[in-house]
Amino acid sequence: MTVETYGIHPLDGRFREALYSGKRLRGVFNGLPSPAIVEMCAYAGFDFVVLDNEHGIADLQTTEHMLRAGRASGIPMAVRCLEQDIARTLDAGASALKIPMVNTAAHAAALVQRIKYPLPPGRTGLQGGRGSAFSSRAAGYGAFGGPAHTQRSNEAIALIVMVETPQAVANAAAIAAVPGVDCVFVGPNDLAHSMGCENRWSEPPVQAAIESTLKAVAAVGKCPGILALSPEEEERYAAWGARYFASTTTGLITKAFREAARGAREKLGY
């Protein structure tokens, strides 16, 4: 029996498949550098984890360990990363990348080029200019290298781009229509700040921009996503077409700790 017989190839194509499934997906951003947190999210029943390497503090080695934890515990994983880290994050075995601050279709198309490998004449499918190395975890340290790895990577790795400015809102449909873009995710906090509303994304102008974006992405046939911190927010955004929802591990943990501390004080009267 080979490793692939057991379904534990480092690249996990389920994330991209889920984005096109039509189903509602619920997951979390995790900026804590802890493989144990990833496993806890899997065992809790979330649909995915996004490792937050834009605002989190994990280095690439820890990121690779968290990707291992996700693969071992069976939860699809994405990495929100800065553009200078794209190549090494892919080589670490990320099956989905989430890129912040994508404002134009041209920017989105350039990202596709950086994620897809070039293909030889006669091979079908999207292709790009990603540098090739088969010694990385993504290729099983050489066990799964060669043309099969190239094809698997081009077909399985998902690209999620983030809309976080008024310019991106205006270009949402064109961004979503770029071949190779699989999901467009609205970052409501940055969008609110860029619109002069600080962190108040419940303000009517910000909500109108969110509605416009989610509907535009859905109309193109791509998966619309957004941060949703309550069931009420999720239902509102679902009515506008969103299917991919995320909260944050830090928010959930802090809320649970606060409730536990408050409950103890109330019970013991101090």
For 143-200, the pLDDT digits (tens) are 999 999 999 999 999 999 999 999 999 999 999 999 999 999 999 999 999 999 999 9
H or E element in which residue 48 lies: strand 48-52
Can you give 182-224 as a three-state secondary structure string? Answer: CEEEECHHHHHHHCCCCCCCCCHHHHHHHHHHHHHHHHHCCEE
3-class SS at 161?
A: strand
What does DSSP assign to residue 118? Answer: P
Q: Give the per-residue pLDDT at 5.
A: 43
Coil/strand/helix, residue 248 = strand
Number of domains in the chain: 1
Residues 225-239 have pLDDT tens digits of 999 999 999 999 999
Give the pLDDT confidence score for residue 122 in this predicted structure.
81
Distance from C-alpha of 246 to C-alpha of 180, rounded to nearest angstrom? 22
> Could you say which DSSP state residue 83 is in?
G
Full-model pTM? 0.94
Residue tagged 């200078």 (tokens): 84
Q: Which residues in the chain show pLDDT less than 50?
A: 1, 4-6
- H/E element, 256: helix 249-268
Which letter does DSSP use for residue 34 in this model?
A: -
The backbone region for 145, taken as left when phi is positive above 0, alpha when psi lies in -120 to 50, beta otherwise, is beta
SS3 246: strand
Cα maximum dimension of the chain: 75
The rounded distance, in Å, linking the Cα atoms of 87 and 64 is 13
Tokens of 102: 């994508």
- Active-site residue flag, 55: yes
pLDDT given for residue 124 in this prediction: 81
Q: Helix axis angle, 60-73 relative to 35-44, nearest 10°?
A: 30
Residue 1: the pLDDT is: 41
**Measured distance between the N- and C-terminal CA atoms of the chain, rounded to whole angstroms:** 61
The CATH number assigned to the domain holding 98 equals: 3.20.20.60
Q: Which domain holds residue 52?
A: 3-268
Length, in residues, of the chain = 270
- The answer to whether 247 and 44 have CB atoms below 8 angstroms apart is no
CA neighbor of 242 nearest in space, from 261, 227, 257: 227
Q: Which of 9, 55, 65, 107 is catalytic?
A: 55
CB 112 within 8 A of CB 120: no
Q: What's the rounded Cα separation, in Å, for the pair 202 and 213?
A: 15
Per-residue pLDDT at 6: 43
Q: Is 227 helix (H, G, I), strand (E, B) or coil?
A: strand
State how beta strands 158-163 and 244-248 pair: unpaired
Q: What is the pLDDT of residue 7?
A: 55
* Contact in structure between 26 and 61 (CB atoms under 8 Å): no
